[in-house]
Amino acid sequence: MNLRAITAQIVGSVLDRGESLATALPAGQARLENPKDKALLQELCYGIMRELPKLEFFINTLMEKPMLGKQRVMHHLMLVGAYQLLHTRIPAHAALAETVEACIDLNRPNMKGLVNGVLRNLQRREQELVDKLPTKAPLAYCHPSWFVKRISKAYPKNWQQILQANNERSPMWLRNNATMQTRDNYLEQLHDLEIEASAGELGDNSILLHKPVPVHALPMFEEGACSVQDAAAQQAAELLAAQPGELILDACAAPGGKTCHIIESCEDLEVVALDCDQTRLERVQENLDRIGLRAQLICGDGCTPEEWWNGPLFDRILLDAPCSATGVIRRNPDIKWLRRDSDIAQLVDLQQEILNACWRILKPGGTLLYATCSVLPEENSWQIKQFLAQQSDAKLVPLHEQDNVENPGWQLFPGGEDNVDGFYYAKLQKIV
C-alpha cells in the first residue's frame, strides 16, 4: 500500500480516534517491507504531530471549506503532503506525486485533483502563508492552549524553552550495564564501530549517542551490555540507592528499564515488579530476559496492594506514577493532542491514591522514591507537598539545596544543557 496513504490513516487514528502513535505506528509499519519505508513512515507521523497546528493552518487557509466526515482522511493526507514539502528533503515533485497517488489506495481517486491543487498552491505561496501565521503561543509553539496556559503560569521565566524543547527531536541515550563493563570501556567499543558517543553528565553510566542507531548495531546489545534509556530516567535507580539484601518494589514497572537498572545497580536484591497491565508486564520480562536478570513479576493495581501482596514490608519502593507524560513530549509528540486539560485532575487523584497505598506497605525507616515524567507542578511538587502535610510519618530527603517541604523534589526539564527528558523525583523516608 502507498506509504503516504498509510501515514494519513495513522494520523487519523490519532487525531480522530485517540489512538497513540505507540500503537498505531507499529501496525502501519507492519504493512511495509523496506526498512527505509518504515523509517520514513515514522518520520512523517512524528513530524506531523510536532507541527500539526501550523500544518492545519496552511491547509485550512487554502481550502474553501473543511473536509469532514468520510472525507476527513483527505485532510490528513494533505497534512502528509504539507509536512513533506515544508519539513523534509524529499524532492517536491516526488512528494506531490506520491501523495496524490495515495488517493487511489484511500478509495478517493476523484480527490486527486483537489489534493494536487492544494499542495501545489502551498508550494507556490509558502512564504506568504508563513508570514500570515498568527503569533499567539498555541500556534507559534505548536501546543494546545490549555497546556501553554498551565506551563506559562507554572514557569513564567522559562516556559518558552520548555515548549521549544518539546518540539525538538529526541536524542538517543544508553545506559551502560556496569556489571559487564565500565562506561569508558563501552564508549571504546562504540568508537571502534564508528558510533559517535559521549559520557553523560547526569548519571554514572549514561551515554549520549550523537546520532541514533538501530539497537542491533550496538555492541553486545542482545547480551545485555547496554539498554536504551534517557539519562533523566536513569536517575531513578541511582536515587533509590538500593542496598544488598533489601526487598524492593518497582511499582508501575512497565516497560522495565528502571527494574533492570535497579537490579544492575546492586547485588543480592529481591525485586518485585508490579504493573496493572499483563501485556506491558510481558515487556518487563523481555527486558529482564535479554539482560539475564530475575525479578518477581506481579500483575496488580498499585491502589490495592492488599489484593496482591501479603509478604513483608518493602525496604524501598520506586513509584513511577501514572502521569500526563508532559515531560516526554519530544519522544511522543502525539501526547500534545491526546491529552486533555481535564485529565490532569484525574491523574492527580490516581497518583495520590497509589502513593498512599504504597506508603502502607513501606517498612518504617524505608525509602519511597516518587517519580513522574511530567513537568506539571500539580502532579509533582504540589502532590508531594500535600502528601507531606497529611502523613505525619513522612520525611523529605532533599535531593538538592533548594529541595524543601515548601517546594519539594527535583524537577528536570526537557532539553537544556544535559539534553534529557522532563522528569520529577522526590525522595521520602518513613519515620520510625
Closest CA to 367 of 304, 419, 309, 432: 432
Q: How many residues does the chain have?
A: 432
Contact 363, 398 (CB under 8 A): no
CB-facing half-sphere around the CA of 125: CA atoms within 13 A:
14
Angle between helices 35-62 and 21-29 (to 10 degrees): 120
Instruction: Say which amino acid occupies 328.
Output: V
Q: Is residue 276 among the annotated active site residues?
A: no
Amino acid at site 2 = N
**411, 404 Cβ separation under 8 angstroms:** no
User: Residue 384 half-sphere exposure, CB side, CA atoms within 13 Å?
Assistant: 30
Q: Which of 142, 226, 276, 373 is catalytic?
A: 373
The secondary structure of 8-77 as a DSSP string is HHHHHHHHHH---HHHHHHHHHTT---HHHHHHHHHHHHHHHHHHHHHHHHHHHH-SS---GGGHHHHHH
* Catalytic residue list: 373
